Structure 1
C-alpha cells in the first residue's frame, strides 16, 4: 500500500476485478474539491496503480458520496461497466445505505420515516428544508430507529432511501435533533473541533457482474460520543 494510503489509514473491506470497498477516513474528501487536499478517488487510483504495477491511467468510479467529515463503508467501481450498473442500482433504489448517527435530544418517536423537500444553495454549500413545489427542490426520504439514549444524546440507526446532499444532517436538524459535532446544521449546540457523529455502517447491493448480494460493514470508532453505548448494540442492530 502506498505511503499516502498508509497515511490516510484506508482499510479495504472488499476487492475483486470489478469493485473496491473501503472504509472512508474522516476529513478526507471523496473527490477533488476546492481545498486541493488528497481525495479518496485519487488516493485509490494511486494505490491500485502501485499494488498491481499498472501502467497508464487507472479507473476508479465514484458510485455514492460521503460528506468530508463523515467516515465509514464505501464502494467504488474498478471498471466503467461496473460503475454504470451500480449507478443504475442506486437510481432504482436497490442500493442499501445504513448509517449510525448521534443526535442531540430525543426524536418524536422510537422509529419513523422522514420525508422532506430539500433545496441546496451551491454558493454557501448548505441545504434547507423547503415547501413542496419549490423550484429545484428534491425529495429526501429516510427511515430511522432510536437504538439508545444517554446524556441528552440519542444513538440512531438511519436507512437512506435517497442520496441528497447533507440529507441526514439537514433532516435531523429540521426535526430538532441536530447531529453531535455538526457545525453547519447544529452550531448552537456543538463546539468547534468536535467530530461529526455520522458513520456509514453498511452498504449493500447486488454485484454488478455476479448479481450476488455484497454487504460491506464498518463500525464507528470507539471514542466519544460513540462509546456512550455498548459496541454490541450497534453490531447487533446492523446484522
Structure 2
C-alpha cells in the first residue's frame, strides 16, 4: 500500500505489545495458529508477517511462524513503537466530509491535523476523529482504521477513507498499482526553467538527518519515486506548480522539489523556511516574513483525487479549492509580482 508517512518510526528501541506463557497442557502447535487464539482482531497472515520481521520471540529468542510452542514457553511480540500508539481513543474532532456512501468517504483534511497517532502525536489525530464519528472501520496493514493513504500533518487536502473490508482491499490495490489519481498544488522557491517535467529518483531515509528523506542515485537504495510537475503561475522568486504522483513515498513532493533545487515555500524540514530567492532589501525580507506568517507551513495541498469505486466500478474524481492560507499567499505574491520585476533572471 502506498502511504505518505508523517512520522519516522523509532528504530533503536523495541516495545512489548503482547506477552503470554503457554499453558501446561498445551499440545505442540504452530505459533501462528497459537497466537490467533490470544490476539483479538488479528489474522494468521499478520502474525506470520510479524514473525518474518523478527518481531515474535519465544523465551527471548526470535522465531519463525512455523515454530511449535510447548508448555511454559514465554511468547512475546516486540515492535518498534509503543503499544499505546495503536490504541485509538475516540475524539470529537470535526470532519470536512466531501463525499460519503456505505463503502467509503472522502474528506478534506485541514493543515495541522496529524493523520494517525504516532511518535509525539498520540491524540488529536484524524484517526481519533474517525473513531468518534464511525464504528467498526476496517484496519489497514498498519492496524490503522480506515486509512488507505496518508498525507503529512501540515499538508492539506483530500483523503479517501474505507468503511468496509472490501473497500479497503479494493482501494489499497489501486494505490499499490498506481492507478489512483492524485494531484497536488505547491508553491516552490525559484523560477523553474521548464514549464513541465518529471522528477525520478529513489527515496530513502536521509543518512544523517533521520527526520528527512533524500534522493539516492544508487538504484539499490530506497524505493523508486516519480513526480510529474507543471507550472501553473510564475511569481518571479517563487512558482506555483501542479504535481501529479505516480508513487506515494514519504515526503515525495517535498524531497523531489528540493532535489531539483526548488524546495517548497516555508517547508522548515527541507530548508524552505529561509529566503532562498530574492533581494537583500529589508523591505523584501519583511515581505517574506509576512508571507511566512500567512502560511506557517509548507505550501502544499492535495487538490484532486481519483479512484475506481470499489462497489460500483465507477470512476470517482474529487476536487477541492485551495485553503485560505494558500489563497492569501498566492494573492500576496501575485500583487508583489505585478508591482516588481522580481526574479526575471532567477532560476
Indicate the RMSD between aligned Cα atoms, in angstroms: 2.2
Task: Measure the CA separation in 1 of the matches of 2:224 and 2:137.
Answer: 35
Task: Measure the CA separation in 1 of the matches of 2:106 and 2:226.
Answer: 25
Return the offset for 1:38.
Answer: 1.2
**Kept after mapping to 1: 8 A contact 2:117/2:123:** yes
Where does residue 308 of structure 2 map in the other structure?
206
Alignment length (residue pairs): 218
Give a deviation string over 1:193-230, Cα, whole Å, max 9, x none: 62211000001000011010111211212333233459
Question: Does 1:182 find its partner at 2:267?
Answer: yes
TM-score normalised to structure 2 length: 0.59
Higher strand fraction: Structure 1 or Structure 2?
Answer: 1
Instruction: Pick one of 82, 100, 103 that aligns with 1:15.
Output: 100
Task: Measure the CA separation in 2 of the matches of 1:134 and 1:89.
Answer: 25
**Kept after mapping to 2: 8 A contact 1:148/1:229:** no
Deviant stretches of 4+, over 4 Å: 190-193
**Kept after mapping to 2: 8 A contact 1:117/1:131:** yes
Where does residue 241 of structure 2 map in the other structure?
156
TM-score normalised to structure 1 length: 0.84
Greater relative contact order, per chain length (Cα 8 Å cut-off, separation 6+)? 1
Where does residue 233 of structure 1 map in the other structure?
none
Q: Which has the larger radius of gyration?
A: 2
Can you give the 5+ residue segments of structure 2 that lack an aligned partner in the other structure? 1-89, 139-144, 277-288, 336-347
**Kept after mapping to 2: 8 A contact 1:197/1:226:** no
Where does residue 93 of structure 2 map in the other structure?
5
**Kept after mapping to 1: 8 A contact 2:154/2:297:** yes
Return the offset for 1:4.
Answer: 2.7
**Kept after mapping to 1: 8 A contact 2:111/2:155:** yes
> Match of 1:108, SS?
coil
Instruction: Pick one of 304, 314, 321 that aligns with 1:219.
Output: 321
Question: What does 1:7-86 align with in structure 2 at a 5 Å threshold?
Answer: 10-34=95-119, 35-49=121-135, 57-59=136-138, 60-86=145-171
> Match of 2:269, SS?
coil
> Match of 2:122, SS?
coil
> Match of 2:129, SS?
helix
Task: Measure the CA separation in 2 of the matches of 1:155 and 1:77.
Answer: 32
> Match of 1:184, SS?
helix
